[in-house]
Amino acid sequence: MPATIAIRPIEPRDQPQWQVLWAGYLAFYEVVLDDATTQVLWSRLFDPASTVHGLVAEGADGSAIGLCHYILHANTWEIAPVCYLEDLYVQPGERAGGVGAALIEHLRGRMRDEGWSRIYWMTREDNYRARGLYDRFAKRDAFVRYVVRRTG
C-alpha cells in the first residue's frame, strides 16, 4: 500500500465526502436511488446490529478518496463467516494509484485476523479496469448471477 493511503473504518464525520463518493459510485453503475435508501445505508454503517460495514481510503491530505461497503454473514458451506464486498469505489483521479488494492488488502487482513472463511464480490463484465485489479487477487469463478425483483 502506498504510504499516502490510509484505510480505516468509516466515521460519522465522513458523511459529506462519503456522499460524494457514493454518488460517483451510483453514477458509474447508472443507478438512481432515492434519498431514503441512501440515508438507510448511512445509518446501517453505524448500527451495531447491522451486518453492513464501511471503510474509507484517505489520501495524503486526509480526504476520503475511496470507499468500500461490505457485509459479513453466515453461510451454509462453512462455519466461519464470509465477507461480501458489495461496493468498492475510488475517485477517478485516484485510480491506478493503489487505492482499490489497499481497500481489498485491508479486508484480507481482517479476514486473517478475524477468521472469515472467504471474501467474494462481483462486478459488471465490462468493468475491465476493475477486473484488471480483481484478477490480481482471485480467479473469476464460473457462477452466473440471477436477480428476481419484487414487483408492486
- Report the CATH number that the domain containing residue 99 is assigned in CATH: 3.40.630.30
Amino acid (1-letter code) at residue 83 = C
Query: DSSP assignment of the chain, as one string?
Result: --TT-EEEE--GGGHHHHHHHHHHHHHHTT----HHHHHHHHHHTT-TT-SEEEEEEE-TTS-EEEEEEEEEE--SS-SS-EEEEEEEEE-GGGTTTTHHHHHHHHHHHHHHHHT-SEEE----TT-HHHHHHHTTT----S----------
Query: The C-alpha cell of 93 is what?
Result: 483521479
Range of the domain at 65: 6-134
Q: Does residue 144 form part of some domain?
A: no
Query: DSSP assignment of 75-89, as one string?
Result: -SS-SS-EEEEEEEE
pLDDT in tens, the chain (152 residues): 556 899 999 999 999 999 999 999 999 999 999 999 999 999 999 999 999 999 999 999 999 999 999 999 999 999 999 999 999 999 998 888 899 999 999 999 999 999 999 999 998 888 878 888 888 899 888 888 888 888 87
Q: Does residue 147 form part of some domain?
A: no
Q: Does residue 151 form part of some domain?
A: no
Q: What are phi and psi of 53, to 5 degrees?
A: -130, 160
Q: Does residue 142 form part of some domain?
A: no
Overall number of domains in the chain: 1
- Specify the pLDDT at position 2: 59
Q: Does residue 77 form part of some domain?
A: yes
pTM of the model: 0.91
